[in-house]
Chains A and B, each alone.
Chain A
Amino acid sequence: MRPLTFPGLLLRCGVLAAILFVVVVIALKLGAVPVSLYGLGLDLVHLLLRKTTGLSSNYDMIVLDIRLPRILLSIVVGASLAVAGTAFQALLRNPLADPYVLGASSGASLGAILTLIAEPYLALPLTLAALVTPVGAFLGAAVTIAAVYFLGRREGQIDSSTLLLAGIVSASFLSAIIMFLISTLSSRGDLRGMLFWLMGDLSVSLQPSLRWVLGIGFFVATGIIYTTATDLNLMLNGEKEAMHLGVDVRRVRLVVYIAASLLTGLAVSVSGSIGYVGLLVPHLMRIVFGSDHRILIPTSALGGAIAVVIADTLARTVVAPSELPVGAMTALAGAPLFIYLLRRKIA
């Protein structure tokens, strides 16, 4: 018997954090404009010493003003999607659940688009206006998950395949509405393209207020989900058994459902719908670290960050100077991996 200990948890997270750091450094270096590793290193050292004036590289603008914010965004989006996926998988007792498959990402996209359409008529101050979209995306995600949850029930019980079908059908239905809205409103310049909402894109620069909302929202929602980690472990046995083992099932279900919808809404409102991250990252982490949520949640967050940073770096380099949507990249890598895992009977 060797249960998880706190040092053990720190060690595993430390390894993943180190990998993330390496990936971030490589991502800073790669791009349409080449940057030498030496110059980059000097820049980072200067930055850490807060000597922003002494930046040696001529490309500091590119690295610090363009690539770094985009990488930070990738980290938060990837971590949010992976944690949301982990939470939905435990909550719905379905290893194939994730925000994208369940239609939550599409719901969040639609919610975000509706707020963008409504925004000019609301006459809100700019800082507040930036927050309306994430709220709309959160509501869109929450409503969709609730709908899919009820559609996925049979005789009062959650039915695994019915639930997934309900999610897939909802996603395609919502995507159709998104296409309709964007096609009819395409004359308006302020709506981002269809590709953004359906395939995901991380090349957007964010309002500073939105950055704060995203960062704080991520830590709060993930922290809340993490407090229920041992409850989620027991929920995997089914809700009845969890209750007999002392889990307040209704409270955990509600809290995790809201927090996971919030993570989905936040991620989608700044990056569109990126698929496969929420599905595959928790799976891989489960294979490596086991299914204890005390370790699965933080490692999934780090793993999701690593996955999206890599995917986005590839998306902006493989066809440089042009760009692929990051969702195309995650689907290209994710779909075959998913099939492989399915054949391995992990699912």
Chain B
Amino acid sequence: MVAPSTSADSSRPSDIRLSVEQVSYAYSANPSQAPLFTLEASSFQARPGEIVAILGPNASGKSTLLKLIAGAQEPMSGRVLLNGFVTHSLTPRIRAQRIAMVQQESPLLFPSRAWEFVLQGRHPHSRSLRFETREDIAIARNALAQVGAEHLAGRWMNQISGGEKQRVILARALSQQPLLLLLDEPTLHLDIGSQVGLLDTLRRLAAENRYTVVVVTHELNLAAEYADQIVLLHRGKSLRVGTPAAVYQRELLEQVFQTPLSVESSPSGRPRVTILPAS
């Protein structure tokens, strides 16, 4: 299970936390048929405190890549290393101690209160049948405070707004005390104020707690503004990996997203995309 990284990295390899090495995946409805979807070998690396955004049109393989990184699925080839360990080979418990996943929201079967929900994040750190300790409660409370949601602790999860719910879900991920924070379209269904609020929180947390953050998103401009690295996917291929400025080339984005657009520079110096109507 212990598989130290052997990748030849030009900079300091010890500084690399997440290393995605040539992972590929194929999905087919039945084994004898040709695959319906493939993700070709993709690679990138990320350090603690870094935010990586995975961009691409629908069905480009974004969520698949995220699942491979999370270790939920085994890559057909290549591997994903987190601090030198292959993520897929970890037991679910150990994996959840190191990797937290914020998924697109799933409906709750029975209502629960926000603090109960956040305490669920302590599950991988406790033995079965153990009752929550003071430490668990302190960590959960701190997690809620970090996302600015202390006031929601006593509220029912089905009675708070989408933006508030997303914060509580993020707080649960924080209470896992992970090294790697994965988010699958966290800003979906949020208004622009909540989107910016969430990403501001993410950037602050990544810097303060030294999380490595990988976020799948459709929001080109928010990704450019907040991410340190962009992974651009198109039809299962990793077209380009690099800083927003390096990836946001007009021809490249027009080809990937199939729409005329222009790329300028925003006041912060990051690239900004404007969609140009065809007519």
Contact = CB atoms under 8 A, between A and B. Distances in A.
B141 A230 contact: no
B129 A247 contact: no
B249 interface: no
Given A1-B115, A4-B131, A93-B109, A245 B124 contact: yes
Contact of A240 (B100, B103, B112, B128): B103
Given A233-B120, A237-B108, A237-B120, A247 B92 contact: yes
Given A4-B131, A227-B128, A244 B123 contact: no
B131 A3 contact: yes
A240 B104 CA distance: 11
A5 B131 contact: yes
A236 interface: yes
A226 B130 CA distance: 12
B98 to A, nearest CB: 10
B99 to A, nearest CB: 8
Contacts of B140: 1
B213 to A, nearest CB: 15
Nearest to A227: B128
Contacts of B95: 246
A291 to B, nearest CB: 4
Interface string B147-159: 0000001000000
Contact of A245 (B96, B112, B130, B131): B96
Contact of A95 (B106, B109, B176): B109
A249 B92 contact: yes
B47 to A, nearest CB: 23
A229 interface: yes
B126 interface: yes
A212 interface: no
Contacts of B131: 3-6, 294
B121 interface: yes
Interface string B99-119: 111010010111010011001
A226 B129 CA distance: 8
A241 interface: yes
Nearest to A89: B109
A238 B92 CA distance: 15
Contacts of B130: 230
Interface residues of B, number: 37
Interface in B191-208: none
B97 interface: yes
A1 B110 contact: no
B91 A244 contact: no
A344 B83 CA distance: 50
A236 B128 contact: no
B34 to A, nearest CB: 19
A246 B124 contact: yes
B82 interface: no
B72 interface: yes
Nearest to A248: B92
Interface string A194-227: 0000000000000000000000000000000011
Contacts of B92: 243, 246-249
B137 interface: yes
A113 interface: no
A245 B169 CA distance: 12
A233 B101 CA distance: 18
A247 to B, nearest CB: 6
A228 interface: yes
B254 interface: no
A81 to B, nearest CB: 20
Nearest to A4: B131
A66 B173 CA distance: 57
B189 interface: no
A70 interface: no
B63 to A, nearest CB: 11
A29 interface: no
A236 B123 contact: no
B204 to A, nearest CB: 23
Interface in A229-260: 229-231, 233-234, 236-238, 240-241, 243-249
B230 interface: no
B96 A244 contact: yes
A291 B119 contact: no
A234 B141 contact: no
Interface in A1-28: 1, 3-6
B110 A236 contact: yes
Interface in A291-332: 291-292, 294
Report which residue of A231, A246, A291 has the largest number of chain B beta carbons within 10 angstroms of its beta carbon: A246
B72, B92, B141 interface centre (most CB from chain A within 10 Å)? B92
B128 A230 contact: yes
B123 A234 contact: yes
Given A1-B141, A292-B116, 11 more contacts: A1-B115, A1-B137, A1-B140, A228-B128, A229-B129, A230-B123, A234-B120, A243-B92, A245-B121, A291-B110, A294-B129
17 contacts: A3-B131, A3-B132, A3-B137, A4-B132, A227-B128, A227-B129, A230-B126, A230-B129, A238-B106, A240-B72, A240-B106, A244-B72, A244-B100, A245-B121, A246-B92, A291-B110, A294-B129
Top-6 shortest CB links A-B: A246-B96, A246-B124, A244-B101, A3-B132, A291-B110, A246-B93
